[in-house]
Chain A
Amino acid sequence: MSGKDKMYTMDGYLAIRKRNIIVLVVLGFVCVIAAYLSMGFNDNHMSISDITTVIINHINNVPFETPRQQLEDTLVFSNFIPRAIGCMTIGAILAMGGAIMQSIIKNPLADPFTTGLSSGALVGVSLTIIFGVGFGLSYHFDLMLMAFVFSMLPCAVIIFFTFFKKATSNIIILIGIAISYIFSAASTMILFMGTTMSYEKIYRWSLGSIAWLDSDSWMILIPSTIVMLIIFIFMSKLVNIASVDDKFATSLGVNSPKTRMICLFIVSVFTSITVSYAGTIGFVGLIIPNVARRIVSSDTKILLPFSAILGGLFLLFSDCIARSVRLGGISVGIITALIGGPVMLYILIKMKKNCWR
């Protein structure tokens, strides 16, 4: 941060920063347009122009003339729009979570799904859904809180193995996968105990789907995305330092283990929120930050907003595919896994050749 060589580096730095900001703004714009267009993929044969008319009428408070108009208005405002917003925000949260976890665990395969955080959260959600276990808050806050409490278990395991056993980072991911096997078996078991649930509903949770979002979900999801982004932008320097060697971090006067714990904690909080709405959607946090790192840099400050927007775009895209596969759609988690598996393989092969920074 000192002023030496400022003139020389300043120009380069500013040029890159300017480019990045432009790219971000453009991408943000693209994301919003994509979200709007994504509403055209629906089972109700409503085109984009129909939807636009409905929205304009809604804004102008035009009274409904036919039951059809009433229905369309309800559809657009309690299904299409929440779903589009859900895709963007959940994608963004997962991608940011992935970016942070990759930096702090120092492994490009880390994300809330592969480390078992999501599956842990799902156990909490299942307990609340089936047995009504909770803290006496409103139903949805109970869901979130339980999800959070249970995501702490895999979190603790990861912390234990990183700090005390000094496990290599690939082993941590494999441990995470083993944990997620256990937890998904546990949540399937719990969900099976509740006889009111259909099989369909049970698997919908474990595969992750955005199709059944509440109409007021955006009131939680949008603020959480923004809060998460802001928190990590403020912590970006610490995260950057935590992603290099610990000895180096100590020499800079930074307590990296502490940063890691705080980051894991925050990522768990926000992952739990997404799980309580959409179940476990995998691979968004794995694919997106790795793509983003190639386009921008590994500097958390720019990587994070970039991942967030790309994550939103990616989930929108996947959800559109999931909707068009068949009438009624399939779970978006299937599509993300379909794309994520090969990407994971690619990263693994690359990892050997080029040690990850």
Chain B
Amino acid sequence: MSGERQLEEYWSYLLKKVIFIIVITVAVVILFLYSLSLGYMNMTIPETFQYVINHFMGVTYESGTREWFCDHLIFNRNMPEATFAIIAGASLAVAGVAMQSVMNNPLADAYTTGISSGACLGVSMAIVLGLNILDTGVGSRMGIISNAFIFSIIPMVMILVVSRKLDQSPTSLILAGTAISFFFNSLTMVVLLSATDESLAAVYSWQIGHIGGTTWESIPYTAVVSAIGIVVIYLLAKKLNIMSSGENSAKALGLDIETLRTFCLLMMSLMVASVIAFAGIIGFVGLVCPHIVRTIIDADNRFVIPASAILGSIMLLGGMVISELLATPTLSVPLGVVLSFIGAPIFLILIIRRNSNVW
């Protein structure tokens, strides 16, 4: 009898999570269609939908007509950007989940621990100085990603080393991460500003994230790396669950903590690097999304990982839509600013909540 009831409870427990995931998936699709309709052609959503279907049906338009322009806008500008936002958001959010679980710190993510800033330095080295560690030709996309990855390892190792020397509180680690990211950000600026005629503005836009101008060519690289990363981390979900129950009990259950931690951090660095190589530092996605998901469907990583991935897509896509809507003809509001507006208050709430938990 009680076994049946438990099973029932378990099913309702699963159902809630599955429903949540379905709801946010639908939200992504709607947001995706809406983001396609944006831009100077003033399309409505059904109209956009029609264009998308027509495109895949193989309908072509005469060059120069309104239809042709709409088609061009959707498939060469809006769709690559939106697709990239979906992939990048998912990747960053999953990287955040992994980092929070292995560091056992709800405030940790690539942005707050400085890993993104290190990757950004790698990107700037690759782009500006043509200094690729894996020599695959100057400015080649794989070269940029590998450079970003290699440079993101520096802050990662710093965080691992420092985390042993700090006290156990999560805030100290994040303060250290902030210090590291300040250092790498200014290093990036010095490198870019001293080596090129690049304006301060162009450099800054790398440091606060930008998706505008993404083309289809750069998407496969990010997509492949992100997909591998998300799948691998999803396969590790059960181990991550054990990990977040605390180091001692994880050890007692026979988990090789150090290897798992290093592996996950490397994996997430790679994922983050593949995003940053094209979009610059995008903050707060990896911090905020897993947290929202956990408050709604609890901390089971088997569900937190896919749900965070989808929510990450929503956040990045939404941020992109908002920044597009706010843009004036002369100036566009950077995506990073919009994300800070959404992310920083939630970050603040997280810190304060932790504080009240401690007391």
Q: Which A positions have Cβ atoms within 8 angstroms of B?
A: 109, 161, 165-168, 170-171, 173-175, 177-179, 181-182, 184-186, 188-189, 192-193, 195, 198-200, 202-204, 207, 282-283, 325-326, 330-331, 334-335, 337-338, 340-342, 344-345, 348-349, 351-352
Contacts and interface: CB of A to CB of B under 8 A. Distances in A.
B16 to A, nearest CB: 31
Given A185-B341, A204-B200, A337-B182, A349 B333 contact: no
Contacts of A334: 186, 189-190, 193
B175 A173 contact: yes
A170 B355 CA distance: 10
28 contacts: A170-B172, A174-B351, A175-B348, A177-B175, A179-B344, A185-B341, A188-B337, A189-B337, A192-B331, A192-B334, A199-B331, A203-B200, A203-B201, A204-B200, A207-B200, A325-B194, A330-B189, A330-B190, A341-B179, A341-B180, A341-B183, A341-B184, A344-B175, A344-B176, A345-B162, A348-B162, A348-B166, A348-B172
Contact of A326 (B179, B184, B194, B344): B194
A337 B333 contact: no
Contacts of B295: none
Given A337-B183, A352-B166, 18 more contacts: A165-B352, A165-B359, A171-B171, A174-B107, A175-B351, A178-B348, A182-B341, A189-B337, A192-B331, A198-B201, A199-B199, A199-B331, A325-B194, A330-B190, A331-B200, A338-B187, A341-B183, A345-B158
Interface string B321-348: 0000000101101100100110111011
A204 B333 CA distance: 17
A330 B182 contact: no
Given A199-B199, A352-B166, A182 B340 contact: yes
B269 interface: no
Nearest to B327: A192
A144 to B, nearest CB: 25
Given A167-B355, A185-B341, A349 B200 contact: no
Interface string B160-188: 00100111010110111011111111110
At the interface, is chain B mostly helix, strand, loop or mixed? Answer: helix
Q: Which of B165, B183, B194 has the most CB of A within 10 A?
A: B183
A109 B182 CA distance: 14
Given A184-B340, A282-B182, A330-B193, A179 B176 contact: no
A206 to B, nearest CB: 8
Contacts of B201: 198-200, 202-203
B328 A195 contact: yes
Contacts of A170: 169, 171-172, 175
Query: Which of B175, B208, B355 has most A Cβ within 10 Å?
Result: B175
B358 interface: yes
Nearest to B187: A338
A190 B64 CA distance: 38
Given A199-B200, A200-B201, A348 B186 contact: no
B194 to A, nearest CB: 5
Given A170-B172, A184-B340, A178 B347 contact: yes
Contacts of B189: 207, 330, 334
A160 to B, nearest CB: 10
B221 interface: no
